[in-house]
């Protein structure tokens, strides 16, 4: 038969009886008539290593590739890796998925065992912590396996994808209630009064709905304060131990956004603060052209920003939410600041004005609107010296 590489090779089948061998021969003959057939098959672990190296890493975003690698390393390869690729069955995949739900992952992955003897506190000392994989983790692991086997089918190594024959229920997303416009106002006012060095960054994620990576990767060359515009095209991410400053994931993520007055004022203030920090740092300053940096001009670690945001929430006395939930808060904040719907549509990156108008139908209280206007006006004047 013809292999996927275009070579003619002989393939053998074996069985305990003539009938078993004949059935295998008929099945193999049918496969040969449909297209190329692989005469040898690697283990699943071997194929996954090839798939990650040759398919995933060159073609997908670094964060996505790192996520796929994590699921293969922690959840797929330990249980299914020794299986031959062509011998993997639907039953194997189903048993593996059920095992993920029932097995303590701390025991399976040796999490507690990797700690020093003095720091061990559960599974390694005989007290199992029952750390089971969530429904979301189980589905994501299955999705990665399905994607890998789909590639094997496209490369004509497998005739079918056994993982795709299963149906894994999609868990409901955990809904996080975003801040109201009043909570956002209280948060910003508290940060400004404390002279929080990251106050301009908070303004950008709340006033423009920027993602954390987009805000941290913002460059001065992408900011036009005279025209009150900002171009979103770069982001900062921590991937596999490396801090990457790279383009946004897709072209749809790129956009030229109009800057509300509160954002323009905050960026002007940030420019002055950075100039003072550059002068104070002297030769230690690293000129990278980023808007938001450390005291020496280096990029801000994403996790450090999360910690600063959590601390700012507590000091402001507002409800603690994840950083990414501020993107949802941006819509109600734009409504409260009386930003024109067409401008808000561009900022929120909606494809249709009707979607924006649905947001605008949720009118904030008059008190909140007036308070936000006062906040915007107060930002026009320089901060008082302490």
**Confidence band for 112, pLDDT divided at 50, 70 and 90:** confident
Spatial strand order in the sheet of 223-224: 223-224, 229-232, 255-258
Specify the pLDDT at position 32: 80
Classify the C-alpha dihedral 90-92-96-102 as positive or negative: positive
Q: Give the other-Cβ count within 10 Å of 379's Cβ.
A: 21
**Confidence band for 229, pLDDT divided at 50, 70 and 90:** confident
Whether 242 shows a pLDDT value over 60: the answer reads yes
3-state secondary structure 86-146: HHCCHHHHHHHHHHHHHCCHHHHHCCCCCCCCCCCCCHHHCCCCCCCCCHHHHHHHHHHHH
Q: Is 16 left (phi over 0), alpha (psi -120 to 50) or beta?
A: alpha
Whether 371 shows a pLDDT value over 60: the answer reads no
Specify the pLDDT at position 336: 67
Whether 49 shows a pLDDT value over 90: the answer reads yes
**Confidence band for 365, pLDDT divided at 50, 70 and 90:** low
**Confidence band for 248, pLDDT divided at 50, 70 and 90:** confident
Q: Which of 3-7, 267-271, 367-371 has the lowest mean pLDDT?
A: 367-371
Residue pair 257/232 in contact (Cβ under 8 Å)? The answer is yes
* Coil vs helix vs strand at 231: strand
Measured CA to CA, the distance from residue 274 to residue 109 in angstroms comes to 45
**Confidence band for 317, pLDDT divided at 50, 70 and 90:** very high
Whether 364 shows a pLDDT value over 60: the answer reads no
Specify the pLDDT at position 374: 57
Q: Which residue has the higher pLDDT, 178 or 85?
A: 85
What are the DSSP calls for 147-201, one per residue? HHHHHHHHTTS-SS-TGGGS--PPPPPPP-PPPPHHHHHHHHHHHHHTT-TTHHH
What are the DSSP calls for 305-344, one per residue? HHHHHHHHHHHHT-----GGGHHHHHHHHHHHTT--HHHH
Specify the pLDDT at position 108: 87
Q: What are the CA-CA distances from residue 31 to residues 24, 165, 286, 302 (Å)?
A: 11, 19, 61, 51
Measured CA to CA, the distance from residue 245 to residue 214 in angstroms comes to 10
Whether 383 shows a pLDDT value over 50: the answer reads no
Cα angle for residues 51, 29, 8 (degrees, 5° grid): 60
Residue pair 330/348 in contact (Cβ under 8 Å)? The answer is yes
**Confidence band for 381, pLDDT divided at 50, 70 and 90:** very low
Q: Which of 3-12, 27-36, 294-303, 352-361 has the lowest mean pLDDT?
A: 352-361
Q: What is the pTM of this model?
A: 0.73
Residue 2, strand partner residues: 8
Measured CA to CA, the distance from residue 294 to residue 198 in angstroms comes to 10
Whether 113 shows a pLDDT value over 70: the answer reads yes
Q: What are the CA-CA distances from residue 283 to residues 112, 255, 276, 279, 297 (Å)?
A: 44, 35, 14, 9, 11
Q: What are the CA-CA distances from residue 340 to residues 231, 326, 337, 368 (Å)?
A: 20, 20, 9, 17
């Amino acid at each position: 038969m013809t292999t996927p590489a275009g070579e003619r090779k002989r393939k053998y089948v074996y069985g305990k009886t003539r009938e078993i061998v004949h059935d295998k021969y008929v099945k193999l003959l049918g496969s040969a008539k449909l297209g190329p057939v692989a005469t040898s098959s690697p283990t699943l672990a071997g194929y996954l290593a090839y798939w990650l190296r040759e398919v995933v890493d060159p073609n997908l975003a670094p964060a996505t590739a790192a996520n796929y690698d994590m699921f293969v390393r922690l959840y797929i390869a330990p249980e299914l890796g020794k299986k031959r690729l062509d011998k993997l069955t639907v039953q194997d995949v189903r048993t593996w998925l059920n095992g993920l739900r029932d097995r303590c992952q701390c025991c399976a992955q040796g999490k507690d065992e990797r700690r020093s003897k003095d720091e061990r506190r559960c599974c390694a000392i005989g007290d199992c912590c029952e750390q089971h994989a969530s429904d979301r983790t189980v589905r994501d692991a299955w999705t990665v396996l399905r994607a890998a086997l789909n590639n094997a089918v496209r490369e004509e190594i497998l005739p079918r994808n056994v993982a795709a024959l299963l149906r894994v229920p999609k868990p409901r997303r955990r809904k996080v209630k975003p801040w109201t416009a009043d909570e956002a106002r209280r948060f910003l006012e508290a940060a400004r009064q404390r002279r929080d060095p990251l106050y301009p960054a908070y303004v950008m994620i709340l006033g423009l709905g920027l993602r954390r990576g987009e805000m941290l990767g913002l460059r001065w060359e992408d900011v036009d304060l005279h025209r009150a515009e900002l171009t979103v095209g770069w982001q900062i991410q921590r991937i596999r131990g490396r801090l990457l400053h790279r383009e946004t994931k897709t072209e749809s993520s790129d956009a030229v956004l109009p800057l509300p007055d509160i954002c323009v004022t905050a960026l002007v203030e940030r420019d002055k603060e950075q100039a003072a920090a550059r002068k104070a740092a002297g030769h230690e300053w690293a000129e990278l052209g980023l808007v938001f940096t450390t005291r020496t001009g280096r990029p801000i670690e994403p996790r450090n920003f999360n910690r600063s945001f959590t601390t700012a929430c507590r000091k402001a006395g507002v409800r603690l939410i994840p950083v990414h939930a501020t993107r949802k808060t941006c819509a109600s904040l734009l409504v409260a600041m009386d930003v024109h719907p067409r401008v808000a549509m561009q900022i929120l990156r909606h494809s249709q004005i009707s979607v924006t108008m649905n947001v605008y139908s949720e009118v904030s209280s008059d008190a909140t609107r007036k308070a936000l206007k006062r906040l915007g006006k107060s930002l026009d004047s320089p901060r008082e010296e302490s």
